[in-house]
Structure 1
Amino acid sequence: MLSAALCRTYENILIEELRPAMGCTEPIAIAYAAAILRDALGADPVAITVGLSGNIIKNVKSVIVPSTGGMHGIETAVAAGVVAACPEKKLELLGTLTEADRARIAPFKDACRMTVDELVTPCTFDLSLRGEVDGHTARVRISEHHTNVVLVERDGVELTADYAERGNAADTADGRADRTLLNVKDIVDFATEADLTRVTPYLRRQIEMNMAIAEEGLRNTYGASIGKLLYRDGEADLRTRAKAFAAAGSDARMSGCELPVCILSGSGNQGITASVPVVVFAREKGASEEELLRALVAADLITVHLKTGIGCLSAYCGAISAGCGSGAGICFLDGGRYYEIAHTVVNAVAILSGTICDGAKASCAAKIAMAVEAGLMGYEMTCTKRQFYGGDGIVTKGVENTIRNVGKLARDGMCETDKEIIRIMLGKAE
C-alpha cells in the first residue's frame, strides 16, 4: 500500500506535467518570455537582446511557430510573444493572436533591433531577454523548464514575484513535486490502486487534445506526412495504426498546426508519443475509461521517470523515453503489472537508446514512429518470454539500474555529441 504522501506527490507530478501548449514548446517559451518583457516595459520594445542555451537554439531553428503564417526562428518567436502580450496565457499565448495581430509580427521583426547570442551556461534550458523602450529597460529569464520564471525586472526593480509560478507542491526548492521519488514499482502500484479523482480531468484533456491533433495530421498534409504514410487510409494493422496516429500528431505539430497539445516532460512530442498509442490500443480493445486512464498514468509517469535522469533538453531524443512509456501503458492495459512492465521498459530502452536529438523539425515524426515500435517490441518480447539481460550493452540487472544508466548516458556521455550537433546545425562545424 502506497503512503498518502507518495500518492499526493505522484498526483502533483501528473498535474504539473499534463499542461496544454500550442506549438513546439521551446519557441513558445521564448514567446512567453517576450510577452512578459513587453508587459514589464508597458510598451513594445524597440531593441531586444536574446540569450539562449544551445539546446533551445537547436529546438527553435527549424520548427514553424504557430499563428505566424508559416514563419520560423528565434526572432519570429520573440515577435509573436511581444504582439500577443498576454503572459497570463503562458504556453497557450499564441492561441490568442487575431488576424490583425498576425499581420503585425513581420513588421515588428523588421522594426525592432534584435540580437541573438548563445548563452554560456551549465543549464540546458536557459533563456534571457533584455528589452529597451523610451529610456526604460527590462530583463526576463526563464530557466530549468519552460515556465520557470526566475527573474523579471524593470529599471533595476525586481518584479519576479508577479510572474513566478506557484506550484501545487513544496517537495523541492522550486515548489515542484519531487520526481526523484518515481520508480517503476511504485508507479505500477499507483496506476493500479490510486484514487484518480484529482488527475482524471488532466488525463481526459490529454486524450482529447492529443487525439485531435493526431487525427488532424492524418486528415491533412503536414511536413513529410509520416503518419499518413503509415496509416494507408486505415488499412494498416493495429500496431502500425498506433505508430501512425502518434507520428501524425507530430507531423502536424512540427509544421505549425494551431491545435494545442497536452505536453509531458515539457514536450508536446513526448506527450503525444506516450499517450496516443495507448488510446489507439484501448479503443481497439474496447477498454473502459477507467482502464484507459490507469494505463495512461503508467505511461505518463514512466516517461517522466526516464526523462528525470536525462534532464529537460539533451542530445538524447526524448521520444525514446516516451515510446518506452507507451509500451508500458499498453502492457498495463493488457493486464501486465510490475514484472511485465519492468521487462518491457528494459527491452525498449535497449533497442533505441542513443538516438540523437537534432532539434524540433519534420523528421521528429519518423523518430516517434520508431520509438513507439521499440516500446511495442519491448512489450512483445516480454509476452513471449524474451528479454535482454544485464551485461547486454547498457542494460544492467534491475530496471532502476538500467534507467539510471540511460540518464548517465544522456546527461554525461552525450555532452560532446550535443555540442557537435549544435555546431553542425549552426554551420560552425569544420
Structure 2
Amino acid sequence: MNAEDQIYQNYVNILKEELVPATGCTEPISVAYAAAKAREVLGVEPESCVIAASGNIIKNVKSVVVPNTNGLKGIEAAAAAGIVAGDASKKLEVLSGIEEQAKASIQGYIDGHPITVVPVENEIVFYIAVTVQKGNDEATVVIEHYHTNIVRVARNENVLYESVSDSDQGSELTDRGCLNVRDILDFANSVRLDDISEMIERQVACNTAVSEEGLTHDWGANIGKVLLRAYGNDVRTRARAVAAAGSDARMGGCEKPVVIVSGSGNQGMTASLPVIEYAKELRVSRDKLYRALVLSNLVTIYQKTGIGRLSAYCGVVSAGCGAGAGIAYLQGGEYEDIAHTIVNALAITSGIICDGAKPSCAAKIASAVDAGILGYHMYRNDQQFFGGDGIVTKGVDNTIHNVGILAKKGMRETDREIIDIMLKHTSKDAVAEK
C-alpha cells in the first residue's frame, strides 16, 4: 500500500481518531464531559441537573468508579464531577486535573443539589442529554453515537450548535467502510512508522503504566494477580494477566490515562498489552511491535464498526481477536494465519455479554485474549473452524460481518433484558438501603 493512496490516509486517520487518551471508563467520562460543557454554557454552577440517558449508558456507568471522586460510582457522580471540577476542553480527560479539595466537594454537590437520571427510550444506543439549571436559566448539551460527539448545545431558547448528521459513525469520522483484513495487513506491513509512531508510543506507555498499577496494587477483583498466582508465569498467562490487570485498575477508578480503541479503554488495553508482552518474550524490534499493534488495533476497530460502540456483545471479544492477530504477526504470521486466528477466536468467544463496566470485565478480557491465542495455535496445528460451523462463514470478512449482525441486531432483546435486570437490582438495592 502506497502512502499516496487514499486508503492509506484513511487508515492513518482512523487510528488518529480512535487511539486517544481517556481518564476513567469512557461512558461515565462522556457524562462528565457533557455536564462540564453544560456548566460552561450556563456560565455558573447550576442548582440542579437532569441527565437523560439511553439504557446502554446507564448500564455502563452504574457499577464503575469515576476517577478523581474518592471512589464514587454512577451517573450522578460523573455528572457532579463534571459540573464541580471538570474541564470540557480536555474531552475524555475532562476529570484528569481535579485537585484534592475539589474531589471532596463532589459528594457535597451531590448531597446539596438535585441530580435526576431519566432513562430514554429511543433508537439511539449511545445517547446523553445533560440539562443544568439555575434560576430561570438553563443549558443543554446532547451527545449521540460516540463519546465526544456533541450534536446539540442550547442555552435557554437559543440553539448555539446543532449537528446535521444522524449517522451512527458521526459526520466527523473517517468512513470505516474501507476496512478489511487483507488491506489492514497490507497497511501494517507498509505504513511509515513516522505516520503512526507517536500514537503507538503513547498507547504502549499509557497502557503499560495502568497495567503495572493493576499488578502492583489492590484493584477490583485482582484478576491479573490471580492469573499469575494460579497459572504461573509463562507468556500466555502473562499476556492475559497484563491486560486483565489494566482493567482491574481502570474499573476501580485508577486516575492514570489509557489509550482507548473503539471508544473503550478495556478494548484499548486488550488490543495492546498482550501484544506488547509477546513482543518482549520474542525480543522483536520496535518496528515489528508497532506494526503488530497497528494490525491489532485496526482488526479490533474493523469488528466494532459493524457492532457499534455499545451493545449486548462484549467489546473485548473483538479486541481479544485483534490481540491474537497481532501475536500471530509477531511470530511471522501472514494473511492466512491472521485470518484463521480471527475466525477461530470469534467462533470461541462470540456471545459473551456486556452487562456494564465493572470488575468482572477483567476476567472477560482474560478469556478473550486466551481465545485469540488459542485461535492462532489452532491454525498452526492444522486445526480450524469451517464455514457452516455456527456463525462461521467461509472468509474472515464474511464471518466478521456475521458477528456484526449478531451483535447489533440479534442481541437487541438481550440488551434490553440485561438493562432491565440491572435496573431492577438498582431499585431493590435502593429500597434495601432505606
Trace 1:245-284 onto structure 2 (pairs within 5 A): 245-284=242-281
Structure 1 residues 297-343: Cα deviation after superposition (integer angstroms, max 9, x where no partner)? 00000000001000110000000000000000011111112111111
Q: Which residue of 1 aligns with 2:311?
A: 314
Conserved 8 A contact 2:239-2:273: yes
In structure 2, what is the Cα distance between the partners aligned to 1:298 and 1:222? 30
Alignment partner of 1:150 is 2:151: yes
Alignment partner of 1:407 is 2:407: no
Q: Which residue of 1 aligns with 2:54?
A: 53
Match of 2:238 among 203, 226, 241: 241
Match of 2:182 among 185, 196, 208: 185
In structure 2, what is the Cα distance between the partners aligned to 1:229 and 1:314? 28
Report how far residue 234 of structure 1 moved: 10
Conserved 8 A contact 2:70-2:104: no
Amino acid of the structure 1 residue aligned with 2:61: V
Conserved 8 A contact 1:20-1:262: yes
Q: Which residue of 2 aligns with 1:293?
A: 290
In structure 2, what is the Cα distance between the partners aligned to 1:254 and 1:404? 30
Report how far residue 123 of structure 1 moved: 1.2
Trace 1:14-413 onto structure 2 (pairs within 5 A): 14-160=15-161, 174-232=171-229, 235-413=232-410
Tell me whether 420-429 or 33-42 shows the greater mean CA deviation: 420-429
Report how far residue 134 of structure 1 moved: 3.0
SS of 1:224's equivalent in the other structure is: coil
In structure 2, what is the Cα distance between the partners aligned to 1:380 and 1:304? 23
Report how far residue 378 of structure 1 moved: 0.3
SS of 2:266's equivalent in the other structure is: helix
In structure 1, what is the Cα distance between the partners aligned to 2:202 and 2:294? 13
Report how far residue 235 of structure 1 moved: 4.4
Report how far residue 173 of structure 1 moved: 6.2
SS of 1:122's equivalent in the other structure is: coil
Report how far residue 103 of structure 1 moved: 1.3
Conserved 8 A contact 1:128-1:140: yes
Structure 1 residues 215-249: Cα deviation after superposition (integer angstroms, max 9, x where no partner)? 11000111110000112399411100000000000
In structure 2, what is the Cα distance between the partners aligned to 1:29 and 1:272? 19
What TM-score does the superposition give when structure 1 sets the normalisation length? 0.95
How many aligned residue pairs are there?
421
Q: Which residue of 2 aligns with 1:169?
A: none
Report how far residue 158 of structure 1 moved: 2.3
In structure 2, what is the Cα distance between the partners aligned to 1:27 and 1:269? 14
Amino acid of the structure 1 residue aligned with 2:348: I
Report how far residue 196 of structure 1 moved: 2.8
In structure 2, what is the Cα distance between the partners aligned to 1:98 and 1:422? 34
C-alpha RMSD over aligned residues: 1.6
Conserved 8 A contact 1:39-1:85: no
Conserved 8 A contact 1:234-1:241: no
Report how far residue 383 of structure 1 moved: 1.0
Structure 1 residues not aligned, in runs of 5+? 165-171
In structure 1, what is the Cα distance between the partners aligned to 2:408 and 2:232? 41
In structure 2, what is the Cα distance between the partners aligned to 1:231 and 1:216? 15
In structure 1, what is the Cα distance between the partners aligned to 2:170 and 2:299? 23
Compared CA separation, residues 187 and 228, structure 1 to 2 (3 A): same
In structure 1, what is the Cα distance between the partners aligned to 2:215 and 2:132? 41
Structure 1 residues 240-296: Cα deviation after superposition (integer angstroms, max 9, x where no partner)? 000000000000000011111000000000000000000000011111111000000
In structure 2, what is the Cα distance between the partners aligned to 1:23 and 1:314? 20
In structure 2, what is the Cα distance between the partners aligned to 1:262 and 1:391? 37
Q: Which residue of 2 aligns with 1:168?
A: none
Conserved 8 A contact 2:145-2:170: no
Tell me whether 231-240 or 27-36 shows the greater mean CA deviation: 231-240
What TM-score does the superposition give when structure 2 sets the normalisation length? 0.95
Conserved 8 A contact 2:86-2:95: no
Conserved 8 A contact 2:86-2:98: no
Report how far residue 159 of structure 1 moved: 2.4
Amino acid of the structure 1 residue aligned with 2:160: L
SS of 1:96's equivalent in the other structure is: coil
Conserved 8 A contact 2:188-2:292: yes
In structure 2, what is the Cα distance between the partners aligned to 1:181 and 1:199? 18
Compared CA separation, residues 137 and 247, structure 1 to 2 (3 A): same
In structure 2, what is the Cα distance between the partners aligned to 1:120 and 1:181? 32
In structure 2, what is the Cα distance between the partners aligned to 1:120 and 1:196? 45
In structure 1, what is the Cα distance between the partners aligned to 2:31 and 2:345? 33
Amino acid of the structure 2 residue aligned with 1:389: F
Structure 2 residues not aligned, in runs of 5+? 164-168, 429-434
SS of 2:63's equivalent in the other structure is: coil
Moved over 6 A (4+): none
* Percent identity for Structure 1 against Structure 2: 54
Tell me whether 251-260 or 82-91 shows the greater mean CA deviation: 82-91
